[in-house]
Each structure stands twice: as C-alpha cells, then as structure tokens.
Amino acid sequence: MSTEQKVFAMERKDSLWCLMASTFWFGKTVLVAGATGFLGGWLVRRLLKYGARVVAIVRSQKPESQFFLESMDARVSVEWGSVDDEHLIQDIFERHPIDFFFHVAYGADVNRVLDEPLECFRSSALSTWQILDFLKNHRPQCVSVISSTDKVYGNQDIPYREAMPLSPLHPYEAAKAAQDIAAQSYGKVFQCPVAITRCGNYFGGYDFNLTRLIPGVVRSIMRGTPPVLRSNGRFTRDFLYIEDAVDVQLLLAQRLSKDPTLYGEAFNFSYGERLEVLDIVHRICRLLDAPFAPVVNETVTAEIPHIELSSEKARHVLNWAPAHGFDKGLERTVQWYREYFAQQRDDSDHLHDSRLLDQKTS
C-alpha cells in the first residue's frame, strides 16, 4: 500500500469513528472532573460537539483555560467544588442522570505536587475511591474512566507493559498509582464498569503550563530567545497528541459500556516512540524556521529519565489506532501556539499604544 493510500485509509477510518462516536454520545449525560484542565477542556469540547449533556466539576475560576476561554461554562452544567467532596458528588448524582464519569482532574505538574502532595492524593486517589464506592452502592450502571499516568510504572525497564508492577516514588506517581489500583479493585472485585488509561505525555493547543517542554520551547522561540532545558536534553519521553488522548477516553468508555471483561483493566496509550528532548526541540525549531540552539541547565532531580509505553494491548483488545500521530500532532500544536503567542503580542502592542495615546492626550 502506498503512503497516499495509507493516509486515505487512516482518514476514512477516522471519519467513520467520528460518525459512530457522535451517534453514541448524543444525548448522554456525562460528568467530567477536571474540566478546566488541559485534557478536561478538550474532552468537554468533544462531548459538546457530539451532542452530550455535560456536567462539569469546577473547583475555581481558571480564566486561562480552554473551558473558560471558549465559554464552555455557558454550555454545560457547572458544579462548583472539589472532586473529593463526598456531599457534592452525592448531590450531583441526585440532580443529574449521569451515564458516564471521566476523572481527569489533577494533571502532571511535578513542582506543584512537591508543594502540595496531600492535595494531589486527595484529588486523585481519595476522590476516586470515594466516587467508585458511591457508584457501587447507588449507581452501579454508571461507566467510569479514570486517567492514571505512565509515571506509575516508575523507573523500570522499557517499554512499560500493563502486566508490570507499579513502582511509584515521586508523590505524584504514588498518588496516581493509588488511584489506579483503586479503580482496578472496584472493577475486578465489585464488577464496577470502570477502566484506567495510562497515557504518554499529552501535548497540544490550550496547554497553558508553559513549564512543559513543547509550549515552553515555542514561547521562547517566538520571543526570540533560545529554549532553556531543565534536563541534559537526553531524557526520552513517549507522547500522545491531545485529540488522540480524547479519542482514547471516549473509545474506552464506549467499549466498557458493552464489555464486562474490560472492568478494572488498565490500558497504555502512546505512539511507542522514545523521543529525546533535544530531538523534539530541533523539530520545533525546524517548524518555526528558527536557528536556535537550546540552553542546557541540567536542574532536574525528580524525573524518570526514560519512558516508553507499549500500546500493544490497546491495539489488540480495543482495536485502537491513533488518528494523528506525533508528527502531525506536533505540526498542529506548533501552529496553534504560533497563532496564540502572536495574538498575545499584538494585544500587548495594542495596549501599549493605547497607554501612549492616553499619556499624550492627558
């Protein structure tokens, strides 16, 4: 099969998947914890596109999030509070006929977790345990997808496979591993319709954590300064473009609703490409036509040096294949940030000009 034929086949498969997904989700009532986060915003966006009724748990105002920037709060039922508040969860389920629950709260920010490790545990592990116990007793048909992380494997031989023992060390890894194991337990012991995703590093537009590699590098280049790396640049990571990440959440939920053999199962999702940080920086520089050499700081002390996931189980059991891939996802992401940072610069210049005009006329 030629390259053109492969691309056409992938696009046709993606179109069929979108049509089937749209039909499935239309009219469903879906609870999303973590709606103002990076993955949460994209998940809510897709669910609204497919015609689902979305209930979003929102802990606080977060103006710089896709959820609020795109006025999604006006299109969903917003429930203010914390995902680990048992009374809030009970109240939500009493007032809304929830069919599906996605727990995507508390994304990976290793520095934030070091400052508030107990909050990470509450939002991840404790909240999952409490909600799954509530569902077991009161809403056993509600399907749940719990977002774990590839970091739960710790520092083991790669590629990571689902049969490997979890070996967390960092507080974030430990909290997510506890969350992961709780979901496995409730799925396998109590036959709750719940499963777990363990994904590679997410990337894409609307990620406003600029300490992360891809948005941070694009911002540096757009400012005309060389990118600064926390590591020696030789760390390797496995990735998943954010729209592919949304696909896997929805795919797993759909399959869970029909197949009890998936209860309590964990699935890896990534491209299976072990990419060096320096290689990614060079790719971004080429996309932006920027001749910068990165500055290597080597200040990282708490991160796993090499991560790679095997998605063989997801491909075999769920028939999963990504719609985008790393290169296509990176192109889309860099273009999004190019436009975003350019708009920010234009807005800043406009504000500066307005202030000058005010000074001249005052």
**What is the full per-residue pLDDT of the chain (362 aa) written as tens digits?**
444 544 444 554 555 556 677 799 999 999 999 999 999 999 999 999 999 999 999 999 999 999 999 999 999 999 999 999 999 999 999 999 999 999 999 766 777 888 889 999 999 999 999 999 999 999 999 999 999 999 999 989 999 999 999 999 999 999 999 999 999 999 999 999 999 999 999 999 999 998 888 999 999 998 888 888 877 778 888 999 999 999 999 999 999 999 999 999 999 999 998 899 899 999 999 999 988 788 887 666 556 788 899 999 999 999 999 999 999 999 999 999 999 998 887 665 443 344 433 444 34
**DSSP secondary structure string for all residues of 244-303:** HHHHHHHHHHHHHTT-GGGTT-EEEES----EEHHHHHHHHHHHTT--PPPEE-----SS
Please report whether residue 173 resides in a domain: yes
**DSSP secondary structure string for all residues of 209-234:** -TTSHHHHHHHHHHTTS--EESS-S-
The parent domain of residue 68 ranges over 3-209+237-286+305-329
Please report whether residue 215 resides in a domain: no
Q: How far apart are CA 73 and CA 44, in angstroms?
A: 10
**Residue 47 CA to its chain's centroid (Å):** 15
Q: How far apart are CA 70 and CA 262, in angstroms?
A: 34
Please report whether residue 269 resides in a domain: yes
Rg (CA), the chain: 21
Please report whether residue 295 resides in a domain: no
Contact (CB, 8 A) for 53 and 78: no
Question: How many domains, the chain?
Answer: 1
CATH number at residue 257: 3.40.50.720
Instruction: Determine the pLDDT at residue 6.
Output: 46
Q: Which residues are designated catalytic?
A: 172
Q: How far apart are CA 29 and CA 299, in angstroms?
A: 45
Please report whether residue 277 resides in a domain: yes
Q: Which residues pair with 319 in a beta bridge?
A: none
Please report whether residue 88 resides in a domain: yes
Please report whether residue 198 resides in a domain: yes
Q: Is 1 exposed, middle or buried (0-12, 13-18, 19+ CB in 10 A)?
A: exposed
Please report whether residue 77 resides in a domain: yes
Instruction: Determine the pLDDT at residue 300.
Output: 61
Buried b / exposed e across 214-244, counting CB within 10 Å, b at 16+? bbbbbbbbbeeebbebbbebebbbbbbbbbb
Instruction: Determine the pLDDT at residue 234.
Output: 81
**Residue 131 CA to its chain's centroid (Å):** 20
Instruction: Determine the pLDDT at residue 174.
Output: 95
Instruction: Determine the pLDDT at residue 13.
Output: 52
Structure tokens, 118:
């107990």
